[in-house]
Chain A
């Protein structure tokens, strides 16, 4: 009898495993969660387009059995807009890291959210620029040591969900890699939503963020750091602004329907 293999592996491109992620990387977990969400929704990967820019997270579409675009840093949303204007019926999923979504592609994120482009954007936030060696990112929490900030980051971090909310995104949620069932549910809701949906997943980076900022390259130390610093929306309501500094607020922030961007001739501006 041959050895039984993981059922999710049937969605992986032939011969692509083992993937290039470091041991204990959250990106591999997000790949696993995404495939589970696809299975539970009964979607067909071959009808979808997955887009990644540059970065660790952007490698996820390379392993998927979808049509894939990969390789222009931060410009995932312009690609998605081109596809959506040509064939609006194709489901488009974007895998972006915090570099792709918040720093290099930050402007595209704001305007895609404002226009309500019908895509699902999965942002895996590992709190630094991991592929290039652990430099400080706009999402790095204040006072944490990274490769380029040996005395601690002197800048306040950037909240991707708040930015998307302010720009008018219609579905925004945040989860962590250590909350598997909740993350699968969040990805499922994001995929089902019509309009711009942003699912942020706080992820561990044991190789760089863990080693520099937390002093340990063990994945479980990273996961405990994220768990200790995450609060739900209900808990956050009773906390002051000072208490919420450096915390990750977990949950679904907004879920509403607005007219979807589908080219100038079809788009109706809401009164």
Chain B
């Protein structure tokens, strides 16, 4: 699973980090062009593709990519 975050759109509300059940998403100190602290991905291998972050993101900034099955 790959978690794509469109950082120019992220406003750092931390709702995705709140809903993530496996602590894949955490807030970082990195700021984007608008000055918001953006969310970052740690341990992407823990992602279970529940897509709660995608559903609850107010800024449509998150996309989950599922690798194609062999």
Contacts and interface: CB of A to CB of B under 8 A. Distances in A.
Contacts, number: 77
B6 A5 contact: yes
Given A4-B65, A7-B63, A32 B6 contact: no
Contact of A9 (B15, B58, B60): B60
Interface in A149-171: none
Given A3-B4, A6-B54, A180-B52, A18 B59 contact: yes
Chain B interface size band reads: 20 to 34
B interface, by DSSP: helix, strand, loop or mixed? loop
Contacts of B61: 6
B4 A24 contact: no
B63 A24 contact: no
A68 B44 CA distance: 39
B4 A32 contact: no
Contact of B8 (A18, A23, A29, A223): A18
Nearest to A183: B55
Interface residues of A, number: 31
A27 B60 contact: no
Given A17-B9, A24-B15, A180-B52, A32 B36 contact: no
Nearest to A30: B58
Interface in B23-70: 34, 36, 52, 54-63, 65
Interface string B1-19: 0101010110111110010
Contacts of B34: 18
A88 B51 CA distance: 37
Contacts of B4: 3-5
Interface of A: 3-9, 12, 17-19, 21-29, 31-33, 36, 180-181, 206, 218-220, 223
